[in-house]
């Protein structure tokens, strides 16, 4: 709980404190992005889990801090979860989140565009129900409380990409959840990495 509060507080501070920088800030740019997400549930008590393919899409806003340095808050829809395969069962578990990341980015000019290097915290909020599919074709759907899953996820985000002069960008991103997914004593957390295509206006 303390880690969640710390990350969430840091996220809010980073997001809202930018108002103090507006006098020296460069003009901001809105962006959109979408792509594929490869998610899993990892940890000491996460056994038989495999990468699950999903979708991610979001919007961002670049706030110029200094030459080549940007603070980028955003909001994304991210399909997380895992595939499950062991000797007894095979299936899938879907966990969907609204994710709010804030990354501090270095965007040096490289060639005719900009290299994008970013790091920062994120907070995710579980949406919808936790759905699953088992190998026999059966489907189930439960609330987060019924699954005894925490709806709030928080962790760190990394981003590497390249933005063309026209505004089109290609990005690799990774999310490492630092909060426990189960509400009980089991130790497991969400992880993912993805590939997106973006455009800044």
Q: State residue 22's pLDDT score.
A: 46
pLDDT digits (tens, 9 = 90+) for 15-58: 444 444 443 445 589 999 999 999 999 998 888 889 999 999 99
Which residues 6+ apart lie within 8 Å of 196 measured at CB?
Answer: 33, 34, 35, 36, 56, 170, 171, 173
pTM above 0.85, yes or no: no
Q: State residue 20's pLDDT score.
A: 42
DSSP codes joined into one string, 10-56: HHHHHHHGGGGGTTTPEEEEEEEEEEEEEEEEESTT--SEE-EEEEE
DSSP codes joined into one string, 95-152: EEEEEEEEEEEE--EETTEEEEEEEEEEEEEEEEEEEEEETTS-EEEE-HHHHTB-SE
> What is the Cα–Cα distance from 76 to 83, expressed in whole angstroms?
22
Which DSSP letter does residue 185 get? Answer: S
Q: Over range 110-121, report the average pLDDT.
A: 97
The pLDDT of residue 147 is above 60: yes
- Closest by Cα among 198, 200, 163, 196 to 79: 196
Q: State residue 23's pLDDT score.
A: 39
Query: 2-200 adopts what CATH topology?
Result: Porin (2.40.160)
Q: State residue 168's pLDDT score.
A: 98
Residue 193 has φ and ψ, to the nearest 5°, of -145, 155
- How sure is the predictor about 157, in pLDDT bands with cuts at 50, 70 and 90? very high
Write down the domain spans for the chain: 2-200
Identify which has the larger pLDDT, 9 or 131: 131
């Amino acid at each position: 709980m303390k880690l969640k509060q710390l990350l969430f507080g840091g996220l809010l501070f980073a997001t809202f404190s930018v108002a103090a920088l507006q006098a020296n800030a460069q003009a901001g740019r809105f962006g959109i992005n979408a792509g594929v997400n490869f998610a899993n549930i990892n940890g000491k008590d996460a056994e038989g889990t495999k990468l699950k393919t999903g979708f991610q899409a979001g919007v961002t806003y670049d706030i110029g801090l200094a030459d080549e340095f940007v603070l980028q808050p955003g909001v994304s829809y991210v399909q997380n979860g895992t595939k499950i395969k062991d000797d007894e069962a095979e299936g899938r578990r879907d966990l969907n989140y609204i994710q709010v990341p804030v990354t501090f980015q270095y965007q040096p000019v490289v060639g005719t565009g900009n290299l994008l290097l970013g790091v920062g915290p994120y907070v995710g909020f579980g949406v919808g129900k936790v759905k699953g599919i088992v190998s026999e074709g059966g489907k189930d759907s439960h609330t987060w409380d019924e699954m005894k899953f925490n709806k709030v996820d928080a962790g760190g985000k990394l981003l590497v990409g390249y933005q063309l002069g026209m505004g089109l960008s290609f990005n690799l991103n990774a999310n490492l959840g630092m909060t426990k997914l189960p509400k009980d004593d089991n130790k497991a957390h969400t992880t993912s990495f993805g590939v997106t295509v973006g455009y800044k206006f």
